[in-house]
């Protein structure tokens, strides 16, 4: 039975170049917002640029071949740091969202609570990254990412509390 183009696109996203196209688009967004930061002098653009940059880095392991794989992968060993990049873009998105929604002005108490928790999460991420760098054991990154996911989920739930208490 013959496969349609849509089925091929759906079942083989890496082979058809869609992932590479999206990474190129993310790279364009990263550069665009990075340049907007210098023009507008607004840190929101820098946070968003960092966010898209780390999304792009976290997806590089899906590129099967091509010049990017040959250029970047052997020298930087990006594949083993995928959880670190994912954690970085989660954290940057959290900071971006808080600044964008002006939570510090609207809910100063909740802003302080959430950022104290976020600093603990960042400390946890740095410790597990250092453990991985010095020991070379990928278990620290792998298990640490699972713990990070739980911590960020709890932080996400805590973050919604002031918005539900807000009167419109």
Instruction: Give residue-wise pLDDT tens across range 100-135.
Output: 999 999 999 999 999 999 999 999 999 999 999 999
* Residues 77 and 57 sit within 8 Å (Cβ to Cβ): no
Q: What is the mean pLDDT of the chain?
A: 88
Percent of residues, the chain, with pLDDT higher than 70: 85
Angstrom CA distances, 1 to 4, 10, 76, stand at 10, 17, 43
Helix (H) or strand (E) holding 102: none
20 pLDDT band (50/70/90 cuts)? confident
Q: How many other CB atoms sit within 10 Å of the CB of residue 29?
A: 17
pTM for the model:
0.84
In which residue are the tokens 């849509």 written? 6
């Amino acid at each position: 039975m013959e496969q349609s183009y849509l089925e091929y696109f759906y079942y083989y996203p890496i082979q058809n170049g869609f992932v590479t196209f999206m990474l190129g688009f993310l790279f364009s967004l990263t550069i665009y917002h990075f340049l907007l930061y210098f023009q507008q002098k607004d840190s929101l653009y820098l946070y968003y640029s960092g966010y898209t940059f780390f999304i792009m880095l976290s997806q590089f392991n899906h590129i099967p071949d091509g010049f990017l794989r040959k250029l970047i992968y052997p020298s930087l060993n990006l594949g083993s740091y995928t959880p670190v990049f994912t954690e970085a873009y989660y954290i940057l998105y959290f900071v971006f969202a808080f600044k964008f929604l002006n939570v510090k002005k609207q809910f100063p108490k909740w802003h302080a609570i959430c950022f104290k928790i976020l600093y603990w999460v960042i400390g946890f991420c740095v410790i597990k990254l250092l453990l991985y760098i010095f020991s070379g054991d990928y278990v620290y990154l792998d298990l640490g990412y699972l713990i990070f996911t739980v911590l960020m989920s709890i932080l996400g739930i805590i973050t919604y509390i002031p918005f539900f208490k807000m009167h419109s």
